[in-house]
Amino acid sequence: MNIAIVLFDDAEELDFVGPWEVFTMAGNVMDFQKLPLEKPHVFTVSETGGTVRCAKGMRVIADHSFADAPRADLILVPGGQGTRREASNPVMLDYIAEAAKTATWVTSVCTGSLLLTVAGPAKGKAVTTHWGYIPQLRERGENAVVRDDMRFVRDGNVVTSAGVSAGIDMALWLVGQIWSPDLARASQKGMEYEPAPPYQAMV
């Protein structure tokens, strides 16, 4: 099970690190419990395969360039300020469009849904995004609906999540769909992911 996480400059860190942790934790649980399941092979991919500087300054060296990346069963596109630039990058958009043709699941976190929309896979689909970008995505008028009341939205094989931490919830759901709910629950327990925030967001 090849899982490609797309990177670009100014990608939001937790958008991709959260799902990375979920998918790799699922693989660790398979090993620990000796489950006879196909393990996830999670890798990062960027336009050139070089170092990517993320939104908060984290530097990540992508495992592959677009040119040499393995075929992905699942593609995940994060958000962040870099999506506004990448929405006009034909190399990025071509990679997403081509990878989506053979992927079983096409996913995004935060404003990654903008790239899925411009590249084509999410065009005409129900999607969500970070709450702060919902008006802009709606204004484009390219999606069937832009939901503002859900952590993640599935429309066919396209799954988009709201911002930042919502990608963890989406990834856990995907583990449940691809493998089993029991594996998703064990992965969540392994991560000690039990959200109980001390502050409620006041907007």
- Which DSSP letter does residue 90 get? H
Q: How many angstroms separate the CA atoms of 157 and 174, rounded? A: 11
For the question of residue 110 being annotated catalytic, the response is: yes
Helical segments of the chain, H only? 13-33, 82-86, 90-102, 112-119, 134-140, 166-178, 181-191
Distances 145 to 33, 129, 142, 156 between C-alpha atoms, Å: 41, 11, 9, 14
| CA-to-CA separations, 61 to 4, 9, 106, 116, 193, in angstroms, rounded | 14, 11, 23, 23, 27
Give phi and psi for 151, each to the nearest 5. -70, -35
The separation between the first and the last C-alpha atoms of the chain, rounded to the nearest angstrom, is 40
CB 82 within 8 A of CB 42: no
Q: With beta carbons less than 8 A apart as the criterion, state whether 26 and 175 touch.
A: yes
The residue annotated as part of the active site, out of 3, 110, 158, 162, is: 110
Burial class (CB in 10 A: 0-12, 13-18, 19+), 194: exposed
Give the catalytic positions in this structure: 110
